[in-house]
Amino acid sequence: MKLTKEQILEIKDQQSRTSQTKRVTAPELEKILYEAVPVLDHGFIRVIDYMGDDTSIVQSARVSYGKGTKKVSTDSGLIKYLMRHWHSTPFEMCEIKYHIKLPIFIARQWIRHRTANVNEYSARYSILDKEFYLPKNEHLAAQSKNNRQGRGEVLKGDQAKKVLNLLKQDAERTYKNYEDMLNERYDGSVVNENELGLARELARMNLTLNTYTQWYWKTDLLNLMNFLRLRADHHAQYEIRAYADVMLDTLKKWTPITYEAFMDYRVGGTEVSAKGKLIVQKLIKGEKVDMENSGLSKREWNELMLAFEMHEKLVQ
């Protein structure tokens, strides 16, 4: 992880400030406010600001004044009820803002969640950092044979070394060409005093997708959980999951009761279709059920069996 001198000074300044407020605060989140938490090789996540906590959700649900009920157990019961029955609006009352440094190819995947306010580093205005994401060996894998958007067997030995070298060489070569086209080095020096530099908005098109970018990403608690439900899942791409795991920890520090309900009903729970429900009911009664007479496709059947850890009933 690399922070600029300006960012380091900004963080020190932000963390040195003290202020009084009548608004609710999350003590555990306050402890890491503004701190840059490392992700991948050069990335990071910082919590910049937030609004509300668990009591804000309770207050909104009851449309009452103050901090809601005094008993944490009562608040917990209500939040779990809201989560269990998909009553989502009260969770929209809390918001959080992150500063994130991430590879461009992950940013393009991330931006598909169109439920946040985003302001990205402008490569039309500034020169992008000379930093590229290079996977560790254990994350270099072949294309999965049964999942078109997933990874399969890990590459080893000379093949892994060859791929890493290609990634590094291509990134360094295109960045050098980027500086040459700009006629300006990353450190501010001029390449050739007798030439004009290409406009930054054009020169950037040559960069590789593992180049790092940065943005501010602000969202409400409901949409943060929707994001984490997909991106913290073990099926998600490793690189975006690494960011989601850090954000999951900030969720725990921010709204611990909501985090517990989220992990229980969203992450640890499972959805069952009407047909799936009938199959589970029959299995509980001891009735014999197989895929052929279940009315489910092979994929649906296997997903249902895996959800209830009935591996012996999987269909190959």
Q: 79-90 pLDDT, tens per residue?
A: 999 999 999 999
Is the per-residue pLDDT at 73 higher than 80?
no
For the annotated catalytic residues, the residue numbers are: 231
**Strand runs labelled E in the chain:** 37-39, 43-51, 95-103, 117-120, 141-143, 151-154, 212-220
Candidates 132, 131, 155; CA nearest to 143 is: 155
> Residue 270: CA atoms inside 13 Å, Cβ hemisphere, count?
13
What is the band of 144 on the pLDDT scale with cuts at 50, 70, 90?
A: confident
What does pTM read for this prediction? 0.89
What is the band of 70 on the pLDDT scale with cuts at 50, 70, 90?
A: low
Is the per-residue pLDDT at 20 higher than 70?
yes
Q: 196-217 pLDDT, tens per residue?
A: 899 999 999 999 999 999 999 9
Mean pLDDT of 148-170: 89
Is the per-residue pLDDT at 135 higher than 60?
yes
Range with the poorest average pLDDT among 14-18, 200-204, 214-218, 264-268: 14-18
Single-letter amino acid code for the residue at 248: L
Coil, strand or helix at 29: helix
Q: What is the pLDDT of residue 202?
A: 95
Q: Report the CATH fold assignment for 5-127+212-267.
A: Gyrase A; domain 2 (3.30.1360)
Q: Contact, 242 vs 39, CB < 8 A?
A: yes
Q: What is the pLDDT of residue 82?
A: 94
Range with the poorest average pLDDT among 16-30, 98-112, 255-269: 16-30
Q: Chain-wide mean pLDDT for the chain? A: 91
Q: 288-309 pLDDT, tens per residue?
A: 888 888 889 999 999 999 999 9
**Strand runs labelled E in 180-272:** 212-220
Longest dimension (CA), the chain: 84
Neighbours of 167 (CB within 10 A): 17
Q: What is the pLDDT of residue 65?
A: 52
More confident residue, 208 or 22: 208
What is the band of 118 on the pLDDT scale with cuts at 50, 70, 90?
A: very high
Percent pLDDT > 90 in the chain is 68
Q: 220-245 pLDDT, tens per residue?
A: 999 999 999 999 998 899 999 999 99
Tokens read off for 191: 């390449």
